[in-house]
Amino acid sequence: MRMKVYRRKRRTPNMSFASTSDIAFLLIIFFALAGKFTKTSEKQVNLPTVNMGERTQVRDIEIVITKEGLFFVNGMKVEAEGLKEEVEAYITEDLDAEARTVVLRADRDASFGAVSAAVEAVNQADGYLELAVTHKD
């Protein structure tokens, strides 16, 4: 007598990435709509250009980084080592998020290290960072 052995059919793994692409698309839409744009600075820096939204008014706290890597906080030249302390002087604990926002205007040719130092200074000063760009016309 022969016994019939049944083998399980192997299933091939199947993953659907449709929901992943939907989430990525929604994140792109969110960040595109949530961004804010401000007026240009008095310092001459060559900002990157984008074509989104309208400009808003200038904030009270502004960091400008020139192509040469020089830092200016509200128009006053500051050394990289004193950047955090200078930003902290403008930010107090009782201010709301809008008043604690620091606008960062970095020349498009500024070094990544200089921009990173400014971002870190704002973060350590417990401020909110807003990156400035120019509009394409």
Q: Provide the whole-model pTM.
A: 0.55
Question: What is the per-residue pLDDT across 44-65, written as a single tens digit (0 to 9) for each?
Answer: 777 666 665 555 544 578 999 9
* 127 DSSP assignment: -
Residue 42 counted as domain residue: yes
Residue 40: inside a domain: yes
Q: How far apart are CA 48 and CA 60, in angstroms?
A: 22
pLDDT given at position 77 = 93
Question: What integer pLDDT is reported at residue 41 of this predicted model?
Answer: 56
Are 127 and 61 in contact, with CB atoms under 8 Å apart? yes
Domain residue limits at 47: 36-135
82 within a domain of the structure (yes/no)? yes
Q: How many domains does the chain have?
A: 1
How confident is the model over 18-46, as pLDDT tens digits?
678 788 888 888 888 877 665 555 667 77
pLDDT given for residue 19 in this prediction: 78
Whether 1 shows a pLDDT value over 80: the answer reads no
8 belongs to a structural domain = no
Task: Taking the CA atoms of 92, 39, 71 and 51 in sequence, report the sign of the dihedral they define.
Answer: positive
**Is 121 inside any structural domain?**
yes
Is position 77 within any domain? yes
131 within domain boundaries: yes
